[in-house]
Amino acid sequence: MPLAHFDGALAVVTGAGSGIGRATALALAGHGATVIAADIDLPAAERTAARAKTVGAGGVAYQVDVSDPAAMETFAADVKRDRRAPDIVVNNAGIAVTGSFLDTGPDDWDNIVGVNLWGVVHGCRLFGKQMHDRVHALPNKPDKPNFGGHIVNIASAAAYAPTRSLPAYCTTKAAVLMLSECLRAELASSRIGVTAVCPGFVSTDIVRNGTYVDGDEQARERLRERGHRALRARNYPPEKVAERIVHAIVKNKPVVPVNFEGHLLHAMSRVSPASMRMLAKISIR
């Protein structure tokens, strides 16, 4: 049962300080939702919350490290205590690790799994439980069944497009996609929708802020700037991803590829897996 509009809704967005998270928070606020803008960078989250007040229903900022289970427990409890169980949760916070598998060390894996996968797991588990409990605590009316809420997990076209250049990133995003599919089946009986959003290349700072494990520091910096310029040249703004997220919530979509390469790679992964394996051998750095 899709959420048809957001007037009066409470939306939690992680990684809301910049990029897709900020654009999504502002889009939801513009459609009438009150936004909980969460980010490890509190000043950035505060700027998003302040902007949300100028475009719509407003918001409030929280500082949280999504990879920290205790911090996420406290965050979820604070949201419920200060507000209530959310109607929408967008698990967006993410980082990139670029480089070959053999050069990616345990600390690099801990960092990216902590944010990209555990962050999504924590958000789904804690806020999903709040949504579930709210639905089953209220009497259900056949003519107007209780709406449980909607969870959006930001995966990536990398979830179904392997590449030798991003093994850690692809692995975590593939896990987010599968988790979303499993949760969608489990939470449907509680009228909680779950969507995995899979953007292709988007003009954000994820590449500039990423970790590079190949070569010396000078080589890594060259890769960083080259990748950042490529994303800027692609010129697909995060606001367009936010539009797709809003539409996905309204229509209760299961998986949403975004932009040309997102759709193309998704189609190729379904009709020609062998082609995807060939493409995976090409370095994108």
Q: Which residues are catalytic?
A: 169
Helix (H, G, I), strand (E, B) or coil at 141: strand
Closest CA relative to residue 171, chosen from 102, 109, 106, 235: 109
Query: Pseudo-torsion of CA 115, 121, 127, 130, nearest 10°?
Result: -160
Question: Are 160 and 198 a contacting pair, CB within 8 Å?
Answer: yes
Distance from CA of residue 7 to its chain's centroid? 22
Q: Which residues does 254 contact at the CB level (< 8 Å), separation at least 6?
A: 180, 181, 184, 194, 195, 196
End-to-end, the C-alpha distance of the chain in Å comes to 42
Measured CA to CA, the distance from residue 5 to residue 11 in angstroms comes to 12
Task: Report long-range pairs for 107-111 (Cβ below 8 Å, ≥24 apart).
Answer: 108/168, 108/211, 108/213, 109/168, 111/67, 111/211
The answer to whether 181 touches 208, Cβ cutoff 8 Å, is no
Q: Is 95:210 a contact under the CB 8 Å cutoff?
A: yes
Q: Count Cβ neighbours within 10 Å for each residue of 249-272 and write b for 16 or more, e otherwise.
A: bbebbebbbbbebbeebbebbeee
Query: What is the rounded CA–CA span in Å between residue 65 and residue 122?
Result: 11
